[in-house]
Structure 1
Amino acid sequence: MRTQISPSLMCMNLMEIKQQLAVLDTRADFLHIDIMDGHYVKNITLSPFFIEQIRPHTKVALDVHLMVEEPTDFIEVIAKAGADYICPHAETINRDAFRVINQIRSLGKKVGVVLNPATPVSYIHHYIHLLDKITVMTVDPGYAGQPFITEMVKKIEELRDLKARHGYNYLIEIDGSCNQRTYRTLLEAGAEVLIVGTSGLFNLDDNLETAWDQMMDNIEQAKGALRESA
C-alpha cells in the first residue's frame, strides 16, 4: 500500500496559509486538523471556524483530531464546517462509543479513533471493526516536537496483524515524531498514514514545495532501506 501523508496544519506557517494550502492541495492525502479544548490537553489550537474557512480552498480530505473532553459538543459543528474524518480519543468516548460512532456516520463522515501511548488496543476491541482509521499517538498528546515513544512500535504491529487476520478496513495512522529518524521503523511496523509536522515537513525548508520534496526523499530512502534488508 502506498504511504499516505497527512500534514498537521497547526505546524504550518499561518501567515502564509493560502500559499501553503495551495502547495498541500496537490500533494497531501489528508490535512490533519487538531482541535484542543485546553482541558483534555493543556493547549488550545485550531477550531471549527478554521475548518470552515479553509474548506472552500482545498479538495483534500480534512481529518479532524478531537483532543477534547466532550467530543459530542464538537461533532455536529465540525461536520457542518466541512470535516471528512472525525477522530475522538478512545478514552473520551468509551462510555458511549457506539452512540458516538453512529452519530458521526449519520452525518456522512468517516470515523476514526485515537489511542494515547498508554492506551492498549484492547480498549477498542468491541468496536474496532467499525472504524475507518485508527491513530496511534507516538508522543503524549498536546504539543508538537516531543520525542518518539519507542514502545508504540509493538502497538502498530498489533494493529497491522489484527487488520490482516480479520480483514478490517481501518487505516493505521501515526501521530507524533514522524520524520527521517522514524520513517523506517514506522513503515516496517505497518504504518499506512504519516502525520507530518515540524520535524517531518514544515521545518525542512522555508519553501514548502522544497520541504515536501525533501520529506518524500526521506520516506523513499526509508523504503529503500527496508527493501534492501528484506
Structure 2
Amino acid sequence: MAQDFIAPSILSADFARLGEEVDQVLAAGADIVHFDVMDNHYVPNLTIGPLICEALRKHGVTAPIDVHLMVKPVDRIVPDFAAAGASYITFHPEASEHIDRTLQLIHNEGCKAGLVFNPATPLSHLDYVMDKVDMILLMSVNPGFGGQSFIPSALDKLREARARIDASGREIRLEIDGGVKADNIAEIKAAGADTFVSGSGIFGKGRAEDRNRYDTIIGEMRTALASVGR
C-alpha cells in the first residue's frame, strides 16, 4: 500500500515569509507542498500563480509540489506550472473541454496528472481515463476558500474511489482536501485516503505560542495515521 503523505496547503501560510514556512513544515515531516490555484472565475477567489512555484524552487524546495488548479480553462496554464517546477498537476473535469487531452498535456509536460472531484461531482469521469491518472483528489469542502469544515459524505466517496483504484491495479494516489485535521485524519485514512492536504489544520496551529514549530501538529497527524491499518 502507498505510504501516507501529508501535504500542507500554502493557502494558509504566511506569504510574507513563505519560503521559511515551507522549509519549516518540510523539516517537521511534511511530504508534499500543496498549491491551491484559484482564478476568481471557476471559484470565487484569487490566489497564486506559477511565479510562486518557481520562487519556492529557486528558494531551494526540492519536495514534490502538488498543484491543484481551480481555474477554467485549464490547458493554457499547465505548461507554465510545469516549467515552474510542479510535480503533480490536478484539475477539475468541469474545467476542461477534453479531459483525456488535458491529462495527456500534463504528462507531455513532464508532470504527474490527476483529476479533482468536488463534493457533488460524480466519479464516473474516471471511467475512461483510469490509465492516465496518477492521483485522484477528492474535495471534502466546496472549493474556493480555506478554513472550511469537513463534509462527512466525502468518506463514502473515498471508499468508492479506493475501490476503483484497487480494481485498476494501478499505483494511483488518493488525496483528500478540505477540513483535514489531527482529530479526523485517522477516520479519513480508514476510508481509503493516502495523501492528506491540510492548510489551517497545520499552518494555523503553528502561530500560537511558538509559531515556528510545526512538528507537534504534524507529529499528532502521524500518530493518528499510524493507528490505522490498511
Gaps of 5+ in 1: none
1:172 to 171, 174, 193: 174
1:192, distance to aligned residue in structure 2 (A) = 0.2
The size of the alignment, in residue pairs, is 225
Does residue 59 of the first structure (1) align with residue 57 of the second (2)? no
Please report the TM-score for the alignment, with normalisation by the length of structure 2.
0.91
1:107, distance to aligned residue in structure 2 (A) = 0.9
Gaps of 5+ in 2: none
1:216, distance to aligned residue in structure 2 (A) = 2.1
Whichever residue aligns with residue 156 of structure 2, its letter is: K
Bigger RCO (CA 8 Å, 6+ sep): 2
Q: 1:177 to 1:165 in 2, by over 3 A?
A: same
Q: Which residue in the other structure is 1:15 paired with?
A: 16
Is the contact between residue 203 and residue 211 of structure 1 (CA under 8 Å) also seen in structure 2?
A: no
CA distance in 2, matches of 1:104, 1:193: 20
Greater helix proportion: 1
Does residue 88 of the first structure (1) align with residue 91 of the second (2)? yes
1:128 to 130, 142, 152: 130
Does residue 213 of the first structure (1) align with residue 216 of the second (2)? yes
Whichever residue aligns with residue 91 of structure 2, its letter is: P
CA distance in 2, matches of 1:13, 1:114: 26
Whichever residue aligns with residue 92 of structure 1, its letter is: A
CA distance in 1, matches of 2:148, 2:226: 24
Q: Secondary structure at the match of 2:202?
A: helix
1:120, distance to aligned residue in structure 2 (A) = 1.3
Q: Secondary structure at the match of 2:86?
A: coil
Q: Which residue in the other structure is 1:201 paired with?
A: 202
Q: Secondary structure at the match of 1:5?
A: strand
1:1-230 matches, cutoff 5 A: 1-26=2-27, 27-56=29-58, 57-93=60-96, 95-198=97-200, 200-206=201-207, 207=210, 210-221=213-224, 223-224=226-227, 226=228
Is the contact between residue 30 and residue 218 of structure 2 (CA under 8 Å) also seen in structure 1?
A: no
CA distance in 2, matches of 1:126, 1:156: 19
CA distance in 2, matches of 1:103, 1:221: 37
Is the contact between residue 67 and residue 90 of structure 2 (CA under 8 Å) also seen in structure 1?
A: yes
CA distance in 2, matches of 1:208, 1:30: 20
CA distance in 1, matches of 2:38, 2:171: 28
1:8-31 superposed Cα distances (whole Å, 9 cap, x missing partner): 011111122232122234332210
How many percent of aligned residue pairs carry the same amino acid? 30
Please report the TM-score for the alignment, with normalisation by the length of structure 1.
0.91
CA distance in 1, matches of 2:70, 2:217: 30
CA distance in 1, matches of 2:225, 2:24: 24
Q: CA RMSD in A?
A: 1.8
Is the contact between residue 20 and residue 208 of structure 1 (CA under 8 Å) also seen in structure 2?
A: no
